[in-house]
Structure 1
Amino acid sequence: MRPTTAVLATALPALALAVLGSSHPAVLTPESAPWWRDLHVIGLVLFPLLALGPWAVVRAARPAGPVGWVLEGLAVVLGLVYAAFYGALDALAGIGGGHETMRVGPGPWVAALFEIADALGIQGAYAYLAATVLAAMLALVAAPGAWRVLAGAGALFAVVGAWSFLTSHIYWPYGVATMVMLAIGHTAMALAATRRTRPTARRAPHGEPDRTPATQQ
């Protein structure tokens, strides 16, 4: 994976969510309900893209061969679990909660809706944490030489951010800080992992394989 592609995948979704979260209402009320609903409609697109961060790191850092494909497949599965279950939280508590508060007003239904939304969302958040831990381990192994320092710093930012994501959502200020940490962490790991080299087979003039190191694309 090229460094530019890695930066776009790891930084932009998290930073976009940080910007969105800076205006997230602290409490759902009839007054805040319209933006509460509309904000989470935007989140339906942005939240699944957050899974690109761990995947981009795993893609850049995975070893060659079948093991690498299995690890990347695991990252994809964890990303899908995150997107599905966290998307349910976004739809139920975000869009549904905001819309019904506008139409019906506050009531005991709010707590019941948030209960099922949180129960589903936490499963997605744990899947995201698992994907981030996988990415961190692979980046630390793959990063060459001094780049491992950058990978280590990125791993710290990303794992702490993913742990904070379990409870912070994108609320200001902790949720916004969480998104910034994820952007910094995954981007640093991806940049470090893309600096590694691995042998690739090239054809010599007479058909003999010529193995020379090449930067992983």
Structure 2
Amino acid sequence: MLTIRNIALGTAAPLMLAAAGAVHPHGLSRATASDWTQLHIALLPVFPLLTLGILVPLWHRPRPGLAGFATAVAWTGAFTYAAFYTGLDAVAGIAAGTAVEHAAGTANIEPIKHPLYDVGDSLGQLGAFALIIAVVATAVALFPKHGARVIPGIVVLLVAGWSFTDSHIFWPRGVWTMLGFALGFALLAAGTRRSKSIPRRA
């Protein structure tokens, strides 16, 4: 039951983001501005929850040694992702959508939205790379106890994390990226289910 709960906690956010990506407007225009803004407002609390798939397996990790240090790095990376990717959502999502929606009817919207895109993309990339660092640190923290069983989940998460650096949740690649995160977190939860520690060699 604990494994099922951990899988549910880890996959909920990426599955919600995948569903949102399937209906995400393909571009920001006056016609789509309201939907663009409202969707990003709704997703504002969801993007940070993507880190649950990492934080749940790391809960109660031992503090001493390399595993403890890696856990601290993973938590820091997860926090950095949550902070900076929320910035992307706020700037390139909510702010850009609001600005375009309320721009004068004759105004050229390109100079309005692209500076916001540039700032938002910079924040988002920083957050996405921080998430990759968190995944690598999670592997280091979990491997001493769980061994090779964490590798399938970590590999899937690294592929999804790399795709996330420039795909956001846009259809089609962004949606597949979120489904990749869901699969990776499920595999990681299954690989870290309660078990005996790997015996050490004499």
The TM-score, its normalising length taken from structure 1, stands at 0.81
- The equivalent residue for 2:5 is 5
- The equivalent residue for 2:123 is 120
Q: Map 1:45-194; keep pairs closer than 5 Å.
A: 45-59=45-59, 62=61, 64-67=62-65, 68-104=67-103, 106-143=109-146, 148-149=148-149, 151-194=150-193
Larger radius of gyration: 1
2:192, 2:140 → 1: CA distance?
A: 11
What are structure 1's unaligned runs of at least 5 residues? Answer: 200-217
For the Cα contact (< 8 Å) 2:85–2:124, is it kept in 1? Answer: yes
Q: If each structure's helix is expressed as a fraction of its own residues, which one has the higher value? A: 2
- 1:11 Cα deviation from its structure 2 partner: 0.7
User: Could you list the per-position Cα deviations for residues 75-106 of structure 1 after superposition, in whole angstroms to 9, with x for gaps in the alignment?
Assistant: 22111111111111100010011111110062
- 1:157 Cα deviation from its structure 2 partner: 1.2
- The equivalent residue for 2:17 is 17
Identity across matched positions, percent? 33
2:50, 2:95 → 1: CA distance?
A: 22
Decide whether aligned partners of structure 1 residues 65 and 103 sit closer, same or farther in structure 2, where only a CA change above 3 A counts: closer
What are structure 2's unaligned runs of at least 5 residues? Answer: none
2:42, 2:31 → 1: CA distance?
A: 19
For the Cα contact (< 8 Å) 1:54–1:132, is it kept in 2? Answer: yes
- The equivalent residue for 1:39 is 39
- 1:59 Cα deviation from its structure 2 partner: 3.0
For the Cα contact (< 8 Å) 1:37–1:98, is it kept in 2? Answer: yes
- 1:10 Cα deviation from its structure 2 partner: 1.1
